[in-house]
Each structure stands twice: as C-alpha cells, then as structure tokens.
Amino acid sequence: MSVQLTGIGVSRGIAIGKAHILQRGDLEVLEYSIPAHLIDDEIQRFRRALEIARGQLSAIRSRIPPNTRADIVEFIDAHILMLEDSTLTVAPEHLIVHHQCNAEWALKLQRDALVSVFEAMDDAYLRMRKDDIDHVVTRIQRTLINQHHEPEDGVDARLSDHILLADELTPADAVLMQHQGVAAFVTEYGGPLSHTAIIARSLRIPAIVGVRNIRRFLKDEELIIVDGQRGVIIADADQRTLDYYHELAEKEQRQQRALRKLKGAPAITSDDQLIELQANIELLDDVTAVLASGATGVGLYRTEFLYMNREDTPDETEQLKCYAEVIKKLHGLPLTIRTLDLGADKEVDSGHTSGRMATNPALGLRAIRLCLRNLSLFRPQLRAILRASALGPVKLMVPMLSNSQELMQVLELITETRRDLERDGLAFDPDMPVGGMIEVPAAALSADFFAAHLDFLSIGTNDLIQYTLAIDRIDDEVNYLYDPMHPAVLQLIHRVIVAGANADIPVSMCGEMAGDPQYTRLLLGLGLRNFSMLPSTLLEVKSIITRSDTKRLRPLTEELLLEYEPTRIGKLLERIATI
C-alpha cells in the first residue's frame, strides 16, 4: 500500500528516485570559560575555522559551471562575502575577549544578535535573509565543534538521481545538488521565500519543504516520487502510479524545450491583447537573467541591499552609481525603482531610527512611513533616482502607501527635489513616472484616489495577502492560511485593476502571484495586463498567455468574484486555468 506525505511545494517538477536520508545532527553549542592566558589561542582557533569555511565555499564556487545563471552564483558569493564582514569576523573576537568565553559561544551570541534584527523585519523576503546568517554560522560552528558533515562541501558525490531528505539545506547544498545530479529534495523545515527554495526554482530542481518528520516515515534507498507542484511525496507506489508520473515527467521535459523558443516572441493573447512581462531584481547581476528571459523590462528593483550590512547609509552618489550601472546593463529597457522598504528594525542605520524595536514591525514604522519620518534617509534616494532618470527610462515606485496624506507628502517631496536639481544644474527627466505599490488593504479600498494622483499602480500580492488575512506567510504555524484565492484578496485585486482602468493608467502586479502559472489566466480575466516576476518563471507564464482568450476568461472570473465557498472557488479556478 502506497504512502503519501504532503508539504509545501516550492519548486515544480516531477522526480522519481531512491531516497537518501541526510543525517547531520543538531549542533550543541556549549559555553565554557577561557583562561586569560589562552584568549589569544582561542581567537586563533576561531580564525582557523573562518579560513576552513572560506575554503569550503570557495571550492563550491569553483565547481559552478561558467554558464550558470548569475542569480544562482550570487547566493554563494554572498556567503563568501559574509565571511569577510566584520559582524561575523571581528565582533566574535571582541566577545571572546569581553566574556572570556569559547569561540563557539561567542559566535552564537553574535549570531543571535544579528538574527534578532532580521526576524523583526516586516518584509518577508528580507526576513528570510536570516537564513544566510544561519547557514554561514553553522558552517563555522561545525568546524569549531569538529562536526564536519559528509563531505565537507555538503552533499555526497554519489547521489546522482537520488532524492535528498534532510532537516534543512543551504543554498550551497542546492547548487551542489545540481552539479552532482540530485533529482529532487525534501526538507522538514523551510519556506517558499528561503534562498534554498529560490535556487531550487531557478535550477528547476523539484523541491518540497515543511514535511515534518519525513525521515521517520521513509527509509534510505526507498523508491519515492516527488511532485513539486502539488507538494506531494509518494512511497511504495504501484506500477500504475509510477507509469503515470514517468509520463508526466516526460511531458514536462517536452514543455521546457518548447518554452525556450518563446524567448523573443511578444506576449500576445489569442484575442490580440498585448501583455507586458517584466522581471523583479535586487542586484546588478540579476539583469543577466532578465535579458535571458526575454523580459520587457524591470517591474521591481529592490534597493534595500544598499542599506544592509553596514553602519552608515549610502549617499546620493553611491546610489546614483548603482542605478546607472543597472540602466546601462538593461540596454534601454525600462527600470522601475522601488524606494527603500525596510522596517522598524532599522539597526542597519541606527542613526536614522528611534533606536526602539517595534512590538510588531509589520504594523510599525516601515517603508514609506520610515522614509517620511527620516527625510535625511529619503531625500538622497529621491535625488539619486531622479538623476538616474536622465540616463534611461526610469520609474519611481513608492511602497506601502496607505493614505492620502502619505501620498501628498511624497509628491511634494518629489516636486521639491526636482526644483533643487534644477537649481543645482543637474539633469533629470521631468516626466519620470511616479507610481505606488498597493499592498495594504486600505490602499486597495482607496485605489480610485491613488490612481487619480499617480502614473501607475503595482499590486504587491505578498503583503496584500498577509495583511488581508492577518497571517505571517513564513510562520510554519499559520502559513497554511496564506491563500491568494481568498474572496477578499481577489476582490481587492480586482478593485485596484478597475481603478487603474478608470483612470487610464497601467496596473502591474509584482508579487509572487504574478509569476505563478496557475493564476495567469485568472489574472488575465480580472483585467491585469502588466506582470512582473522572477525571470525563471517568465517563459512559462508567456506560454499560457499566448494560449489564452481574455474574452472567454472574463465571464468566469466575474463568476468567481461572487463566490465564497472554497470548493466552488477551486473548481472555478480549474475551469479558468484550462479554458
């Protein structure tokens, strides 16, 4: 009799192979005192562990094929850079001296302090960056405690065509898995926004996370099936089930080959509706993936990385240089720059904050609220973005707007900044479009007002869904409630799209829902004509668009908007997805 387990599918695809259970064991970090005359020796022991960790990551980096996508390589490079950062290299040494404690304990104290900052962040994507700290610190700790795992670079080289079962995996593990031919992976912990999950999607490795105690239910070398889209693992499958999944896997391979032919083709529906497909980026090297996907521009450029892992804040010149490099690399494609979206945890720049951690940062001083409170933080970015607009097609996008007062303040500041630049004799595009992100229910309900005063709107579904449903999507205890198909969410999305149409301004969507193929036809039926997503999902979404008729989709989506019963909603979505 077959056994079926379920989790969160974070990377689509079918894999059939033998299980390999990766047992690493939990790290037990103990505190003990170091005599004063041995403090220097303890610091040297810590430094040797750092060197070993650098060597391990450098070895992994050297194995990455030259044609690997830039966004994948960046995750490993980021971990290597973290091993050069004083917050992980110098600060623990100070703790060793101050507390006269062992290196493992000092590193744990520093890790806890850093993670507390990230955990307080309201942006789910940024909050998951704490995983990077955990991964790097764990690598150092294993060296200090002498618990090297098999082998030191993370994954056994004999695992070709196996399915890896683990408690959790690092981005370095995910890169090595492709190199070593691992067919898929399943973990007990993790979420859809973790860097490991993002890499799995980029590399198209089927992956499922959040399957608690899976290593207790399955055996090593047991033949299992992983369905990354449905989040299902099947063990002891009968021949009929195996044949079905083999056929499904072959079908997916044929579809992937066909998708590559769509790169240069426009995204036009069967009833001649032209759809804009843009990409989300964070770093300069992400542009390579944008160009490779055939995206028509960047619909979301996150700027938070400029402010993180540093004690000061980037000035106007530094920001302008960064924006200019992206514009140059895009070769004339439009760039939408989102202004700073960090929260009340602002220890990245303590001089610009209240110095007090918010009780609930998701509902506190974040994004545009923070910028309007600290104009010395906001004005240099406005100047840099406006100056960048003279170098290419640039749009400015304001995150987390919630009321008219905020919008009027922003527009006045932009007007003042334009006057200042004119006075200083600095070039900028006076007609640079200014838009706002609709990610708070209050903003969606007031979409008509925002549409009347802005040049474009962009729906941030990640925050809009979790604010509407009052859940934290990366909290394992409640993320099952995260539902893009909740009637309230769909009605808010539709309201924003209609507001844009009435004001004759474009409305885009830059949340993960935009890049999820199961929702593409639904969004087309709701009237969405501008999508922005991870480059890795763009061609599949384009393929669906070219086979869709918006006129036929509209009646079904209108029917869906009136429905509240979950089962009925699911059936309607299935009809919409196959029409």
The catalytic site residues sit at: 195, 510
Answer for the pair 43, 104: CB distance below 8 angstroms, yes or no.
no
CA dist., res. 342 & res. 126, Å (int) = 8
Q: Which amino acid is at 182?
A: V
Q: Which two tokens stand for residue 318?
A: 């530094």
CA dist., res. 361 & res. 121, Å (int) = 6
Return the biggest CA–CA distance within the chain.
Answer: 80
Q: Which two tokens stand for residue 564?
A: 């509240």
Is the previous residue joined to 566 through a cis bond, with omega within 30 degrees of 0? no
CA dist., res. 150 & res. 140, Å (int) = 15
Answer for the pair 300, 533: CB distance below 8 angstroms, yes or no.
no
Three-state secondary structure string covering 337-377: EECCCCCCCCHHHHHHCCCCCCCCHHHCCCHHHHHHHCHHH
- Upper half-sphere CA count for residue 267 (Cβ side, 13 Å): 25
Answer for the pair 465, 486: CB distance below 8 angstroms, yes or no.
yes
Q: Which amino acid is at 265?
A: A
Helix ranges, 260-315 (H) = 286-293
Q: Which two tokens stand for residue 310?
A: 């540093």
CA dist., res. 172 & res. 273, Å (int) = 42
Distance of CA 88 to the CA centre of its chain: 24
Residue with token string 């942006």: 123
| β-sheet bridge partners, residue 437 | 458
* Helix or strand holding residue 435 (H, E): strand 434-438
Nearest to 188, CA basis, from 6, 2, 28:
6
Backbone angles phi, psi at 26, to 5 degrees: -75, 145
* Helix or strand holding residue 564 (H, E): none
- Would you give the end-to-end CA distance of the chain in angstroms? 36
